Amino acid sequence: MKYFIIITLVLIAQTTKAQETDLEMVLSTVNKHDIQDHIYFLASDEMRGRALGTPEIDVAADYIATTLKEYGAQPLNGLSGYFQEVPFSNVSPASKVELSFNQTSADQIAVLEAANIDYSNTVLYLNYGSVEDFEGADVKGKLVVVKGGSEGASDLRSAFFVGRNKRQLAHTNGAVGLIEIINTDDQSWGFLRNFTSTDKISLVGPNDDQTFVHVWARQQDQELMELVQEQVTAELTIEGVQNTNFKGKNVVAMIPGSDPKLKDEFVIYSAHYDHVGVAKNAGGADSIYNGARDNAVGVVTVLSAAKNLGKYPTQRSALFILFTAEEKGLLGSEYYVSNPAVPLNRMVFCFNSDNGGYNDTSLATIIGLNRTTANKDIVKAVEASGLKAIDDPAPEQNLFDRSDNVHFAAAGIPAPTYGLGFTAFDAEIAKYYHQVTDNPDNLDYDYLLKFFRSYVLSARYIANNPQKPFWSEGDKYYEAGLLLYQGN
Ligand SMILES: [Zn+2]
């Protein structure tokens, strides 16, 4: 009898060992020591706020790559080791801008796309600059003049939005530049002037023409509008613009799945690792935006998943991407989605993490939780780790479309953003969000332990679920998803 019990116990112990649960796997790899190490390194003063274009952000990228390698993640074919180089340009504002029509000068000008130019010739007026307006117009080598916005929507916001299409139309038709006449109030104009008077960082495409100019001239009276509708000549001088091209890096790695079939499908684990750098005119003692919450925490969700999956691979493959230049307008993720290392239709889910702060340590807030069918797996995993999962508490802020996940979502890939627990944009969030106070030493690491375990367990459930995740019915990106995966 005695021996029987011992043998039974040994057998039970062995079967339990062989069937280690996902939760046990997560508990065994996600620990406070690692979390603190990573966050204190990435958000240290030495990293100087990890701003794009600085030597410090490259140190952060090296650190992330080395850690991924140590955890058993592999580099992908076609990239430079663990790095995807991302080409940027930095365009400085002009030192001199002058514009006149038939010798009448337009003195309120904002330059949206700057390049040095000295133009003196006739201009072509094309109404609102719609596709129809451009049809049959010979704009080659010319400046095109249009009204801002569109019929019935000429406010600054609408004008800004449709202005991009006009710019592209003018450019592809061979114009040298676009001038829009804008009618707007002082406050909006002031805001725009501020926006356009700093360095502008953007991605550089292989066929980008960095000589094209896009200018807004403010219409103060009807005269200017009447004038440009006649046959006019314009003189436009822009001087002192300096255009510098440079490279940034996305960090990319993968861990193959364990299932012979499901391994062809990937789950993406992503976060941006850049932040906003150092305050320019800081008078105070601390001028470094350390970005512990935003977004060292996000990076550590991804690293925690990599460590766990390196030891216990899931059935689906894992792709880890740490983006650069999120703070410059989601540019690193935009570049990745245009230049993916593995075809996008093999990505079944993107589990992004981005963070501003938290005001409730009983929660994980997932922006877009219920917008995909992975919600059940996430809710279950978060609960098993001692927290509660909630969806976007502030939909009016449109957070879903304001982080790197949106580029994946727009391509059709179900892509929520996992974040620290918050219930509203209140004073507690504002205390740290994009402030020099966002430091590693004012984080609650007991909470973070549960937070990271929740993420990694969610990852395991999603990547092992035989059911492929998809958009919830009726979602804004549902159709894009159908389109992406058709024929799979
Ligand atoms: Zn940020």
Is residue 17 over pLDDT 80?
Answer: no
- At residue 9, the pLDDT reads 53
Q: What is the pLDDT of residues 109-156, one digit of tens each?
A: 999 999 999 999 999 999 999 999 999 999 999 999 999 999 888 888
Residues with CB under 5 A from ligand 1 (ion): 294
- Whole-angstrom CA distances from 154 to 148, 160, 162, 183, 317 are 6, 9, 10, 8, 48
Q: How far is the CA of 485 from the centre of ligand 1 (A)?
A: 31
pTM for the model: 0.87
Taking the mean position of all CA atoms in its chain, how far away is CA 281? 27
Mention every residue, 6+ apart, whose C-beta is less than 8 A from residue 179. 99, 123, 143, 144, 145, 146, 215, 216, 217, 234, 236
Q: What is the pLDDT of residues 24-68, one digit of tens each?
A: 999 999 999 999 999 999 999 999 999 999 999 999 999 999 999
Q: How far is the CA of 117 from the centre of ligand 1 (A)?
A: 35
> Can you tell me the distance from the alpha carbon of 413 to that of 383, in angstroms, rounded to the nearest whole number?
25
**Domain residue limits, the chain:** 22-88+246-485, 93-241
**In CATH, what class is 22-88+246-485?**
alpha beta
pLDDT band at 421 (very low <50, low <70, confident <90, very high): very high
- At residue 283, the pLDDT reads 57
Q: How far is the CA of 272 from the centre of ligand 1 (A)?
A: 9
Across the range 411-429, mean pLDDT stands at 96
Q: How far is the CA of 416 from the centre of ligand 1 (A)?
A: 17
Mean of pLDDT over the chain: 93
Work out the angle between the directed axes of helices 55-70 and 32-42 (0-180°, nearest 10): 160
Q: How far is the CA of 438 from the centre of ligand 1 (A)?
A: 11
Q: How far is the CA of 237 from the centre of ligand 1 (A)?
A: 36
Q: How far is the CA of 363 from the centre of ligand 1 (A)?
A: 20
Q: What is the pLDDT of residues 314-328, one digit of tens each?
A: 999 999 999 999 999
Across the range 442-461, mean pLDDT stands at 98
Q: How far is the CA of 398 from the centre of ligand 1 (A)?
A: 15
pLDDT band at 8 (very low <50, low <70, confident <90, very high): low
Q: Check: CATH 3.40.50.720 for 93-241?
A: no
